[in-house]
């Protein structure tokens, strides 16, 4: 991680916070976030996933109020005035820094479309930091590659529900997501591709406070995932019952 980086952080911070509290007497998630803002600097961009799948069930999405279902750091970022939330009601991000306004202005219909934040991460050679999670529960970027490569075990599904924007205006909206084909009894299984990334030096691992940290170069990871889809029948990405 360097100054001016674009950095996406996905996390389960519970073990880290427990160890930090035990060793130092407290853990402050805002200070933890501030540390990464300092690392990438004013010309960097920091993102936290603020995913919420209630829209898929027809529930109203209020961009001003709906919490993230992806952890403490994500909800902490949402509560801060120096972060903005991107628009997609299922796969949104809390964003800070140089490209925050650009990302918040994206109006992608598909969660993993080329004009989505995932496309931005790939096109701008971003890094992803995974804290306290396995690839299986955090490396959503894989689904962006799967959509671009038109894998046979996923398809685009449309969802419709009410949406309340940042100004409080409410209307019905339609968004989509590349989902598993349940008729094929598909199970997501992406830990194996993560281990391949480690072997190639594209994913770097270290441990702090008994918590595993994984740093991934997403641009290089894209090529490895694409190669597995095209030349290995995506065997390191999914299973069929």
For the stretch 187-220, pLDDT in tens is 999 999 999 999 999 999 999 999 999 999 999 9
**Model confidence, pTM:** 0.96
Residue numbers of the domain that contains 214: 6-240
Residue 114 belongs to some domain of the structure = yes
Residue 206 belongs to some domain of the structure = yes
Domain count, the chain: 1
pLDDT value for 184: 86
State the burial class of residue 35 (Cβ atoms within 10 Å of its Cβ: 0-12, 13-18, 19+): exposed
CB-based contacts of 52: which residues, under 8 Å, 6+ apart?
A: 61, 66, 67, 68, 69, 89, 90, 92
Residue 225 belongs to some domain of the structure = yes
The Cα-based distances of 10 to 25, 172, 227, 234 in angstroms read 24, 30, 24, 24
Residue 1 belongs to some domain of the structure = no
Buried b (16+ CB within 10 A) or exposed e, 194-217: bebbeeeebbeeeeebebebbbbb
Report whether 19 contacts 210 (CB < 8 A): yes
The three-point CA angle 122-218-137 to 5° equals 110
pLDDT value for 86: 98
Residue 47 belongs to some domain of the structure = yes
pLDDT per residue as tens digits for the range 144-200? 999 999 999 999 999 999 999 999 999 999 999 999 998 888 899 999 999 999 999
């Amino acid at each position: 991680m360097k100054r001016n980086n674009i950095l996406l952080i996905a996390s389960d911070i519970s073990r880290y916070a427990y160890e930090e509290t035990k060793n130092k007497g407290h853990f402050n998630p805002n200070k933890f976030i501030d540390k990464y803002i300092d690392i990438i600097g004013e010309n960097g961009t920091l993102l936290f996933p603020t995913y919420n799948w209630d829209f898929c069930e027809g529930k109203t999405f209020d961009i001003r109020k709906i919490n993230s279902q992806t952890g403490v750091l994500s909800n902490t970022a949402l509560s801060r005035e120096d972060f903005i939330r991107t628009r997609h009601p299922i796969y949104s991000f809390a964003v800070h820094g140089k490209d925050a306004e650009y990302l918040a202005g994206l109006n992608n219909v598909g969660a993993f479309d080329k004009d989505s934040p995932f496309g931005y991460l790939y096109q701008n050679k971003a890094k992803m930091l995974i804290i306290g999670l396995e690839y299986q529960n955090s490396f959503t970027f894989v689904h962006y590659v799967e959509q671009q490569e038109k894998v046979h075990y996923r398809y685009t599904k449309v969802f419709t529900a009410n949406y309340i924007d940042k100004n409080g205006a409410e209307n019905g909206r339609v968004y989509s997501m590349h989902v598993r084909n349940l008729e094929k009894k598909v199970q997501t299984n992406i830990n194996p591709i993560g281990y391949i990334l480690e072997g190639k030096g594209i994913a770097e691992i270290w441990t702090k406070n008994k918590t595993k940290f994984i740093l991934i170069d997403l641009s290089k990871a894209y090529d490895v995932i694409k190669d597995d889809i095209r030349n290995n029948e995506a065997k390191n990405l999914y299973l069929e019952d």
